[in-house]
């Protein structure tokens, strides 16, 4: 391959990763590990187009294993797992902002499976929040606005099943606790995966709904209802009015970057609440699973599975059926 072509490919890979890393570092406060992960991905790609990664001889995890063998320095399983999570999120970002013809080879199945399974000894043993966990989160007393915001985010996601990016972008006024409905429409400022849209249902846990109504009313004392539910905070912790306009294919990239920007802080706050409430782990995936499991415990017929799938704005019921299979042992 001509040297100028190789240089162009490498520069293309660097540009893609640097654009993503700039956003990721802003989210995660320049965590050094993310720079290392970026270097690893560039090393894995070498002089090949990173968007052709499914055609590489080695998977990213296999590359890391081979590299550690060559260097004589064994990477911990958690390091490999975290690096692969970063790579997965990078490819998801590429799929969300690049033209479909550029990312056609990056199937959802391949992207998801770039993350290797963990050994049974290290597999997460806690994959949804129990009733006791939810109560302990509600009863957590804090004078920090960031933690109150995270409390409200966890509890809202646990009764709606919203994805992280929808949760971070949805305006206050699109959540109707009185009628147990959520209006998830991109044209109303809600960023959804693959431009899915629909009116979805709130799980009727009235303890949580009362808590969230109280939080909502306090929020509306300082910001208008067009502002995001996951309110942005000033440096001094004061809620700031921020709202999205209609999200279209033309502004999708900018909308995604703007919506996901506070996610790093949310992740930090989930860890803090997890520690304060003595819960093994809280992630947005675990919170979304909580919604699915609670719904399935109320009914697990094929019609119930279809309704849950629709409320998650998913095209396939595979995720819901996997949770049902787990519940049934």
Same domain for 35 and 91, yes or no, is: yes
> What average pLDDT does the segment 211-230 reach?
96
pLDDT at 85 over 80: yes
**Contact assessment for residue 73 and residue 79, using Cβ atoms and an 8 Å cutoff:** no
CATH number at residue 163: 1.10.443
The predicted model scores a pTM of: 0.66
Most confident of 75-89, 109-123, 197-211, 285-299: 197-211
Number of neighbouring beta carbons within 10 Å of residue 179: 9
pLDDT (tens digit, 9 = 90+) per residue, 163-217?
999 999 999 999 999 999 999 999 999 999 888 999 999 999 999 999 999 999 9
On whether residue 320 sits in a domain, the answer given is no
> What average pLDDT does the segment 243-261 reach?
88
pLDDT grade for 121, boundaries at 50, 70 and 90: very low
pLDDT grade for 20, boundaries at 50, 70 and 90: confident
pLDDT of residue 29: 40
pLDDT of residue 77: 76
Same domain for 63 and 90, yes or no, is: yes
H or E element that contains 292 = helix 284-298
Query: What whole-number distance in Å separates Cα of residue 21 and Cα of residue 15?
Result: 10
pLDDT grade for 325, boundaries at 50, 70 and 90: confident
pLDDT grade for 329, boundaries at 50, 70 and 90: low
Burial of residue 286, with CB atoms counted within 10 A of its CB: 0-12 exposed, 13-18 middle, 19 or more buried: buried
Residue 57: both structure tokens together? 């001889």
**Contact assessment for residue 243 and residue 150, using Cβ atoms and an 8 Å cutoff:** no
Lowest mean pLDDT of 149-153, 176-180, 183-187, 259-263, name the range.
259-263
Same domain for 80 and 139, yes or no, is: no
Collapsed DSSP state (helix, strand, coil) of residue 228: strand
Same domain for 187 and 99, yes or no, is: no
Instruction: Give every CB contact of residue 169 below 8 A, 6+ residues apart in sequence.
Output: 189, 190, 191, 228, 230, 244, 247, 255, 258, 259
Same domain for 44 and 191, yes or no, is: no
pLDDT at 224 over 50: yes
Question: How many distinct structural domains can be found in the chain?
Answer: 2
Query: What whole-number distance in Å separates Cα of residue 78 and Cα of residue 134?
Result: 28
pLDDT at 55 over 70: yes
Query: What whole-number distance in Å separates Cα of residue 125 and Cα of residue 200?
Result: 30
pLDDT at 219 over 80: yes
On whether residue 271 sits in a domain, the answer given is yes
On whether residue 314 sits in a domain, the answer given is no
What is the extent of the structural domain holding 254? Answer: 131-293
On whether residue 104 sits in a domain, the answer given is yes
Same domain for 37 and 173, yes or no, is: no
Same domain for 276 and 148, yes or no, is: yes
pLDDT averaged over the chain?
A: 88
H or E element that contains 240 = strand 239-240
Percentage of the residues of the chain whose pLDDT score is greater than 70: 93
Higher-pLDDT residue of 117 and 189 is 189
DSSP 136-172: HHHH-----HHHHHHHHHHHHHHHH---HHHHHH-BG
H or E element that contains 38 = helix 32-45
Higher-pLDDT residue of 167 and 71 is 167
Same domain for 56 and 139, yes or no, is: no
Same domain for 272 and 142, yes or no, is: yes
Higher-pLDDT residue of 80 and 131 is 131
Higher-pLDDT residue of 245 and 124 is 245
pLDDT grade for 280, boundaries at 50, 70 and 90: confident
pLDDT of residue 35: 76
Long-range interactions of 314-323: CB distance < 8 A, separation 24+: 314/196, 315/194, 315/196, 319/292, 320/292, 320/296, 323/289, 323/292, 323/293, 323/296
């Amino acid at each position: 391959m001509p040297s100028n072509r190789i240089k162009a490919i490498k520069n293309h890979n660097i540009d893609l990763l640097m654009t993503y890393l700039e956003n990721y570092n802003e989210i995660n406060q320049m965590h050094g590990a993310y720079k290392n992960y970026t270097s690893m991905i560039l090393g894995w790609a070498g002089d090949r187009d990173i968007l052709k990664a499914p055609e590489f001889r080695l998977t990213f995890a296999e590359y890391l294993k081979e590299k550690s063998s060559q260097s004589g320095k064994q990477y911990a399983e958690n390091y490999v797992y975290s690096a692969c999570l970063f790579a997965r999120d990078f490819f998801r970002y590429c799929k969300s902002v690049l033209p479909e013809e550029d990312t056609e080879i990056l199937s959802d199945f391949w992207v998801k499976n770039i993350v290797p399974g963990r050994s049974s000894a290290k597999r997460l043993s806690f994959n949804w929040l129990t009733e006791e966990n939810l109560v302990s989160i509600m009863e957590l007393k804090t004078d920090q606005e960031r933690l109150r915001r995270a409390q409200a985010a966890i509890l809202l996601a646990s009764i709606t099943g919203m994805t992280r990016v929808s949760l971070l972008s949805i305006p206050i006024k699109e959540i109707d606790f009185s009628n147990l409905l959520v209006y998830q429409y991109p044209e109303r400022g809600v960023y959804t995966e693959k431009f899915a849209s629909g009116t979805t249902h709130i799980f009727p846990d009235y303890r949580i709904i009362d808590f969230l109504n109280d939080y909502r009313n306090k929020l509306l004392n300082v910001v208008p209802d067009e502002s995001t539910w996951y309110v942005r905070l000033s440096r001094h912790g004061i809620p700031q009015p921020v709202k999205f306009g209609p999200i279209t294919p033309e502004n999708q990239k900018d909308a995604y970057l703007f919506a996901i920007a506070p996610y790093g802080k949310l992740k930090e706050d989930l860890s803090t609440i997890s520690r304060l409430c003595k819960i093994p782990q809280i992630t947005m995936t675990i919170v979304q699973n909580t919604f699915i499991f609670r719904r399935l415990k109320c009914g697990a017929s094929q019609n119930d599975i279809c309704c849950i799938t629709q409320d998650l704005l998913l095209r396939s019921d595979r995720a819901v059926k996997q949770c049902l299979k787990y519940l049934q042992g």
